[in-house]
Structure 1
C-alpha cells in the first residue's frame, strides 16, 4: 500500500477512536433515561452477554470508558466493579491487537520526521510501563487512542496490560462512585455540582501524570 494512503488510513483510525465515543455515549445515555429498568432486569445469561458486549463497546471505541463506568455505577452500583474492571482490561487488549494489525508505521514515521519527535518516541518505548500508567491515569488521554498509539510504538504487551490496568483504576473508581450517587441520569444532568469533586480529582490525576511525564523526559535526557 502506498505510504500516503497508509498515513491517511492510520490517521482516520485514530479519529474513529476519538470521535465515535462521544456520539455513542449520548445515545446510551438517552436509552438509559428512556428505559430505566431495562438493564436491571437482565437474566444471568443476558448479564454475561452484556459484559461480553461491553468488551467490544469499549475496545472498538463505541463508548468512552469513563462514561461507561458512570453508567455501570448508576445501574448496578459497586456490584458492577469487578465485571467492569475485567471488561476494561480485555477491551484494552482488543484495542491493542487491532492497532497492531494496523501497524501504524507510516504515521509514527511521519511524527518522528515531521515533528522531530524521534527522541521522545524512543523515550516512550524505553520507559513504556511508566508512560502507559501515566497516560491511563491522565483524564485527557482517551482510552482507545492510548491503545492505538502504544501499539503503534511497539510497547510490549505485558507492560501495556499491567501498566494500563493499574493506571485506569483511580479514574474508573471515581467515575463508578459518581454513577452510584446519581438518583437518576436526569438528576445527574440537572445537578452538575455532583461532578465538581470528580473534576477536582481529575485535575489532581492530571497534575500527577504531567509531573510524572516531565520526570520521565528529564530522566531520558
Structure 2
C-alpha cells in the first residue's frame, strides 16, 4: 500500500472515531426519551448482554463515553457505576487494539516531518503514563481519538490502560451524577442550567490537564 493511501486511511479512521459518536448519541438519546422503561426492565441476562454490547459501543466509537455515563446515571444511578467502569476499561483496550492493527506509522511520520513535531511525539512516548492520564482527564480529548493516537505512538499497553482508567474516573463520575439528577432526559435538555456545575468542574479538569501537559512538554523526553 502506498504511503499516501495509508495516510488517507489512517486520517479517515480518526475522523470516524471523532464524528460517528455524535450521531449515535442523538439516536440513543431519542430512543431513551421514547422508551424510558425499556432499559430499567432488563432481566439479568439482558443486563449482562447490554454491558457486553456497551464495550463495543464505546470501543468502536459508536457513542461518546461522557454521554454514555450520563445515560447510565439516569437509568441505573450509582448501581451502574461498577459495570460502567469495567465496560469503559475494556472498551479502551478494544480501541487500542484496533488502532494498533491500523498501525498509524504513515500518519505519525507525516506529523513528524510536516509539522516538525518529532521532539513532542518523543516526549509523549517517553512520559506516556502522564500524557494518557491528562488526556483522559481533559474533556476536550475524545475517548476514541485518544485510543487511536496513543496506539499509533506505541504507548505501552500497561501504561495506557492504568493511566487512562485513572484519568477517566473524575469526568465519568461527574457525568454519571449529572444523569442521576435529571428527572428526565427531556427535563435535562430543556433546563441546561442543571449541568452548569458540571461545566465548571469540566473547566477545572481542563485547566489541570492543560497545565499538566504544558509542564510535561517542557520536560526533556
User: TM-score if structure 2 supplies the norm length?
Assistant: 0.99
1: CA distance, partners of 2:168 / 2:152: 20
Structure-to-structure mapping, 1:19-30, within 5 angstroms: 19-30=19-30
- For structure 2, the residue ranges without an aligned partner over 5 or more in a row are none
Aligned equivalent of 1:178: 178
Do residues 220 (structure 1) and 206 (structure 2) align? no
2: CA distance, partners of 1:139 / 1:105: 27
2: CA distance, partners of 1:199 / 1:163: 23
- Report the count of equivalent residues: 221
The alpha carbon displacement at 1:219 in A equals 1.5
The alpha carbon displacement at 1:150 in A equals 0.1
1: CA distance, partners of 2:123 / 2:34: 48
| Deviation readout 1:13-60 (Å, 9 max, x if unpaired) | 000000000000000000000000000000000000000000000000
1: CA distance, partners of 2:4 / 2:123: 26
Aligned equivalent of 2:140: 140
Do residues 101 (structure 1) and 101 (structure 2) align? yes
User: TM-score if structure 1 supplies the norm length?
Assistant: 0.99
Structure-to-structure mapping, 1:56-135, within 5 angstroms: 56-135=56-135
Aligned equivalent of 1:2: 2
The alpha carbon displacement at 1:220 in A equals 1.6
1: CA distance, partners of 2:6 / 2:23: 26
Aligned equivalent of 1:168: 168
2: CA distance, partners of 1:217 / 1:10: 25
2: CA distance, partners of 1:220 / 1:87: 35
Aligned equivalent of 1:33: 33
Do residues 202 (structure 1) and 202 (structure 2) align? yes
2: CA distance, partners of 1:55 / 1:218: 36
1: CA distance, partners of 2:180 / 2:201: 17
Do residues 153 (structure 1) and 171 (structure 2) align? no
